């Protein structure tokens, strides 16, 4: 997740159990590009002990080819093409999810990258731009170019995060392709992870927002798969995580007020798992200092009651960034 799941966040996730592999934030590839140093540092200074996959986004074929040649000089386990980003600032430039409107262009990009990439080549996609009828055509292209792994977020670009996840399309990809498929979208607990794996037949899961809210989720999934009772944090465990998060992702030169604002990117996802009324989210969005932030956090979390950290259905305005289906 751009500007959120960066190198410091990787290190924090690893301390809480962490996934089996990490995808970088995307490298923006266009004419005259330079690989962004902070993203590249996730590869060259990877602290997790787990493989890192370099993610690229763009539509200019010569630049994409040049970028993947450069990236293969670094310790990356694979290179991933982003065909799923739903941010308007991205898709309006016909990158990320915007490319799903042009399957012929996707075909050209896949062909060029498959020839240029000598290590595993992976793709993340949504099921279409505003119409999922293109999905079978996309699957045929992924098969044609023999990608090594596909991640499917089970919504269209137009749906963003507001609809439910169409897991049946992920199952369709599993049945159509010889490569492993990862399921993505609304995986918020170990129980939901097991259900999604069972329903889709996917080889694994990609988890983003759910891991921001619950950093123990990867450990909980492994415990469940091993027949163990998963760890459930208590309020003070969550409070300590928030303190760890605040300090870990804090750039040394960033002013306090600016860092508190930056933290709200994380707290938007975290807050919907704290309490059901929306009051915690409302108050966090209005703090301006570290003391104010943790005064609110302590009020809700300084206790020894267990917390599932599963998303509540908050009553949010339709245009709120968190409006939509989280389960």
Which of 2-11, 185-194, 202-211, 298-307 has the least mean pLDDT? 2-11
Instruction: Please check the confidence at residue 94 and state whether its pLDDT lies above 90.
Output: yes
Note whether residue 149 is domain-resident.
yes
* DSSP secondary structure letter of residue 125: E
Domain membership of residue 278 as a residue range:
232-327
Q: Count of domains in the chain?
A: 2
Answer whether 115's CB lies under 8 Å from 155's CB.
no
In angstroms, the CA 232 to CA 162 distance is 28
**255-293 exposure pattern, b = at least 16 Cβ within 10 A, e = fewer:** eeeebbebbbebbbbbbbbbeeebebbebbeebeeeeeb
- Note the pLDDT of residue 1: 84
pTM over 0.85, yes/no: yes
- Note the pLDDT of residue 3: 83
- Among candidate residues 85, 94, 179, 297, the one labeled active-site is 85
* DSSP secondary structure letter of residue 97: G
- Note the pLDDT of residue 212: 97
Confidence of residue 2 (pLDDT cuts 50, 70, 90): confident
pLDDT (tens digit, 9 = 90+) per residue, 13-54?
999 999 999 999 999 999 999 999 999 999 999 999 999 999
Measured between alpha carbons, how far apart are the two ends of the chain, in Å? 19
29 & 169 share domain: yes
pLDDT (tens digit, 9 = 90+) per residue, 269-289?
999 999 999 999 999 999 999
Confidence of residue 4 (pLDDT cuts 50, 70, 90): confident
93 & 130 share domain: yes
Note whether residue 1 is domain-resident.
no
Active site residue 297: no
317 & 249 share domain: yes
In angstroms, the CA 3 to CA 113 distance is 25
* C-alpha dist (Å) from residue 188 to 39, 143, 161, 220, 312: 26, 30, 14, 11, 11
119 & 63 share domain: yes
275 & 209 share domain: no
């Amino acid at each position: 997740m751009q500007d959120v799941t960066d190198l410091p966040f990787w290190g924090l996730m690893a301390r809480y159990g962490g996934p089996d592999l990490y995808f970088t934030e995307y490298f923006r590839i266009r004419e005259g590009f330079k690989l962004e140093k902070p993203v590249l540092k996730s590869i060259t200074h990877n602290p997790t002990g787990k493989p890192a996959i370099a993610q690229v986004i763009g539509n200019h074929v010569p630049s994409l080819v040049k970028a993947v040649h450069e990236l293969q000089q670094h310790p990356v386990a694979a290179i991933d093409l982003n065909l799923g980003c739903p941010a308007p600032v991205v898709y309006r430039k016909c990158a990320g999810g915007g490319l799903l409107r042009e399957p012929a262009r996707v075909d050209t990009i896949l062909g060029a990258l498959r020839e240029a990439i000598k290590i595993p080549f992976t793709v993340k996609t949504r099921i279409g731009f505003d119409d999922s009828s293109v999905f079978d055509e996309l699957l045929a292209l992924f098969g044609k170019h023999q990608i090594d792994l596909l991640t499917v977020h089970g919504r269209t670009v137009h749906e963003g995060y507001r609809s439910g996840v169409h897991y049946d399309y992920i199952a369709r990809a599993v049945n159509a392709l010889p490569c492993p498929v990862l399921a993505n979208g609304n995986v918020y607990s170990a129980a939901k992870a097991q259900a999604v794996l069972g329903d889709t037949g996917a080889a694994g899961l990609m988890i983003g927002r759910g891991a921001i809210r619950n950093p123990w989720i990867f450990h909980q999934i492994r415990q469940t798969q091993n027949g163990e009772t998963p760890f459930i944090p208590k309020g003070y465990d969550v409070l300590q995580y928030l303190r760890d998060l605040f300090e870990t992702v804090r750039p040394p030169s960033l002013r306090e007020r600016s860092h508190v604002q930056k933290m709200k990117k994380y707290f938007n996802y975290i807050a919907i798992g704290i309490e059901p009324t929306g009051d915690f989210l409302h108050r966090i969005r209005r703090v301006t200092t570290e003391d104010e932030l943790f005064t609110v956090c302590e009020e809700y979390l300084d206790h020894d009651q267990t917390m599932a950290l599963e998303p509540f259905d908050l009553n949010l305005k339709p245009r709120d960034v968190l409006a939509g289906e989280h389960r």
